[in-house]
Amino acid sequence: MSICPKGRTSKSKKNKRKAQSWKIVTPTLVRCTECGELMQPHRACRKCGSYNKRTVVEVED
């Protein structure tokens, strides 16, 4: 009978894998093509309402 079964993951190996989810990651920011404001990629700009070089959202002043 074996003490350590096949495929057993050690505590340190498991905890190293789990530690990756605790990292603090700064959000990726890009410049808007219309107004030059910093924004998240693949989102409509909050300042001018444009996405992919066209206005998709009307922004109130």
Structural domain includes residue 8: no
Structural domain includes residue 1: no
Q: How confident is the model at residue 2 (pLDDT cuts 50, 70, 90)?
A: low
Beta-strand pair 54-55/38-39: unpaired
Structural domain includes residue 7: no
Query: For residue 41, what are the domain limits?
Result: 27-61
What pLDDT score was predicted for residue 1?
47
**Domains: count for the chain:** 1
| Measured distance CA(3)–CA(46) in Å, rounded | 59
At 3-52, the pLDDT tens digits run 666 778 888 988 888 887 777 888 899 999 999 999 999 999 999 999 99
Structural domain includes residue 42: yes
Structural domain includes residue 13: no
